[in-house]
Amino acid sequence: MSDPGSETAGRDRTRAHIVSVAAGLLASGGRDALSTRAVAAAAGTQAPTIYRLFGDKEGLLDAVAEFGFTSYLRDKKARPPAGDPVEEFRAGWDLHVGFGLANPALFSLMYGDPQPGRRSPASAVAFRMLGERIRAIAAAGRLKVGERLAADLVHSAGTGVVFTLLSMPEERRDMRLSEVARDAAIAAITTDAPAVETPGPAAAAMALRATLPDATALTDGERHVLGEWLDRLAVGPA
């Protein structure tokens, strides 16, 4: 281990090669084409190598999913930021649905056959991206439900749309479904009139201060303390 750089480089290189070959097999032959033997043969190596590098088959599948997903993102990521967080959200939705339709086997790998608690690294990446978009909407004062619920709702709608479209013959897919579902999700989690005009906690605190009497979810005492804190926040970090 005196030369870990080149050693792990060689290791990483064969690993990347196997993942790339496996992704090709998956895309061309579907999930069933991705057997350890087929991958090993196509990569010019042996079955035990896969287990040394990936632990087990699930490790290989995770690596393939992450590779395919990030590759797709890299190819498509020429999009300039739109400014409006809801417009950014739309772009993210379309990107994700496009990924699912372009890589059905990969998408099924990431989201099909769900197991409680288990989440593939690739879908974790996707969910984190979604969380950032949701947060941006919230920071703009246009989110009317909790961030977590919003993210779950959008995730549900997106995966559902992709699965539904994938179950149809390709020529019968109605892409309006994606748009309608997308806008329905937006309508469910956002408000048209932004509650906050300027970014930062101060403006948000002021906006909340104004609607505080309507905050019936809090007790009188909580409302009182909250009011004091909001006053401090409205002044700013002085």
Partner DNA sequence: CTCCTGTGTTATCGGCGATATCGCCAGGAC
Partner DNA sequence: GTCCTGGCGATATCGCCGATAACACAGGAG
199-228: which residues touch a copy of itself (CB under 8 A)? 199-212, 214-218, 222, 226
Which residues lie below 8 Å from residue 85, measured CB to CB, with a gap of 6+? 133, 136, 137, 139, 140, 142
The option from a copy of itself, DNA, none interacting with 46 (CB < 5 to 8 A, set by class) reads DNA
With binding defined as CB under 8 A, does residue 57 bind a copy of itself? no
Residue 168 beta carbon to DNA: minimum distance, rounded to whole angstroms: 24
* 190 bridge partner residues: 143
Residue 1 beta carbon to DNA: minimum distance, rounded to whole angstroms: 7
The option from DNA, a copy of itself, none interacting with 2 (CB < 5 to 8 A, set by class) reads DNA
The alpha carbon torsion through 149, 153, 158, 159 (nearest 10 deg) reads 90
Query: What are the counts of helices (DSSP H) followed by strands (DSSP E) for the chain?
Result: 11, 0
* Cβ atoms of 97 and 158 closer than 8 Å: yes
Give whichever of 12 and 132 is closer to a copy of itself, judged by the CB atom: 132
Site string for a copy of itself, 97-136 (x = CB under 8 A): -------x---x--xxxxxxxxx---------------xx
Distance CA 33, CA 50 (A): 16
Which residue in the set 18, 39, 106, 143 belongs to the binding site for a copy of itself (CB under 8 A)? 143
Give whichever of 43 and 143 is closer to a copy of itself, judged by the CB atom: 143
Q: Phi, psi (5° rounding) for residue 70?
A: -70, -35
Give whichever of 16 and 218 is closer to a copy of itself, judged by the CB atom: 218
Distance CA 218, CA 221 (A): 8
Q: Which among 17-25, 52-60, 61-69, 161-169 is the span making contact with a copy of itself, rule CB under 8 A?
A: 161-169
The option from a copy of itself, DNA, none interacting with 71 (CB < 5 to 8 A, set by class) reads none
Distance CA 238, CA 222 (A): 24
